[in-house]
């Protein structure tokens, strides 16, 4: 992941958005968000070094997180 600038940038953006959301919600919602994030991490890890898969899971998660921010 670190050797691909595009994936690295998506990882940084996802982390930034995720922690911003997590740090600004009620404790119960924080638990649910953490649960979903753990599932996403499992999906991401299943990609291994497959860049197409990694790009896809990052794009999907970024879209999900952006939807939360917009609401």
Q: What is the DSSP string of 1-45?
A: -TT-HHHHHHHHHHHHHHHHHHTTS-HHHHHHHHHHHHHHHHHHH
Q: Give the H or E element holding residue 2.
A: none
Q: What is the pTM of this model?
A: 0.85
pLDDT at residue 65 above 70? yes
pLDDT at 68: 80
CB neighbours of residue 56 within 10 Å = 14
Please state, for a pLDDT cut of 70, what percent of the chain lies above it: 94
d(CA 62, CA 57): 9
CB neighbours of residue 53 within 10 Å = 14
pLDDT at 71: 60
Q: What is the mean pLDDT of residues 20-46?
A: 93
Q: What is the mean pLDDT of residues 12-37?
A: 92
């Amino acid at each position: 992941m670190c050797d691909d600038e595009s994936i690295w940038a998506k990882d940084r953006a996802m982390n930034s958005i995720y922690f911003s959301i997590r740090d600004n919600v009620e404790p119960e919602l924080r638990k649910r968000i953490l649960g979903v994030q753990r599932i996403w991490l499992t999906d991401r890890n299943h990609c291994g070094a497959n860049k197409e898969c990694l790009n896809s899971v990052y794009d999907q998660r970024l879209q999900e997180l952006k939807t939360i921010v917009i609401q």
